[in-house]
Structure 1
Amino acid sequence: MVEAYMLIQTEVGRAEVVAKQVAALPGVVSAEYVTGPYDVVVRVASATEDDLAASVVPSVQQIAGITRTLTCPIADAD
C-alpha cells in the first residue's frame, strides 16, 4: 500500500466544498479543510505508486475550485 498527503490550494471560499467533494473519491482516506498556506489536506492511498500517480491524484486534481496541489508520498520507516 502506497500512501501520500496532498496539500491543496483552492479558490477563495471553496475549501470546505472541495474537501467534501474530495472525501467522496475512491482512494481518499481523509480530507480536511484547514487554515494556513494550504486550504485542504488530503490523505490518499493506492495499491501501487503507479496507480496513485495515474488514477487517484488526477481524480483529486479534477475537482472544480482547486488551483494547485502538492503530493507528498509518505516515507515508510518499516
Structure 2
Amino acid sequence: MIKAYILVQTEVGESARVTAAIRDLPGVLAADDVAGPYDVIAFVEAHTVQELSRGIIARVQAVPHITRTTTCTVVEF
C-alpha cells in the first residue's frame, strides 16, 4: 500500500467544510483541521501510485474552496 499525507490550504473560513468533504472521499483514512501554514491535513492510502494520483489526489483537489495542496508520500527506510 502507498500512504501519503496531503497538506491543504483553503480559502479563509472554509477549512471545516473542506475537511468534512475530504473525509467522505474514498481512500482517505483521516482528515483534520490544523493550525499553521496548512489548514487541513489528510492521511490517505492507495494500492498503486496511479490510484493515489488519479483516484485520491485528483478528487481532493476538486473539492471546492481549496487553494493549494502538497502531497507527501510516506517512505520507509
> TM-score when scaled to structure 1?
0.95
Whole-angstrom CA distance in 1 between matches of 2:40 and 2:67: 11
**Structure 1 segments unaligned to the other structure (5+ residues):** none
Aligned pairs, number: 77
**Per-residue Cα deviation, 1:21-63 (whole angstroms, up to 9, x for no partner):** 1000001010000110000000011001121011110000000
Give 5+ residue unaligned stretches, structure 2: none
Runs of 4+ residues over 2 Å off in structure 1: none
Q: Secondary structure at the match of 1:68?
A: strand
Match for 2:53: what amino acid?
A: A
Identity %: 42
Alignment partner, residue 76 of structure 2 = 76
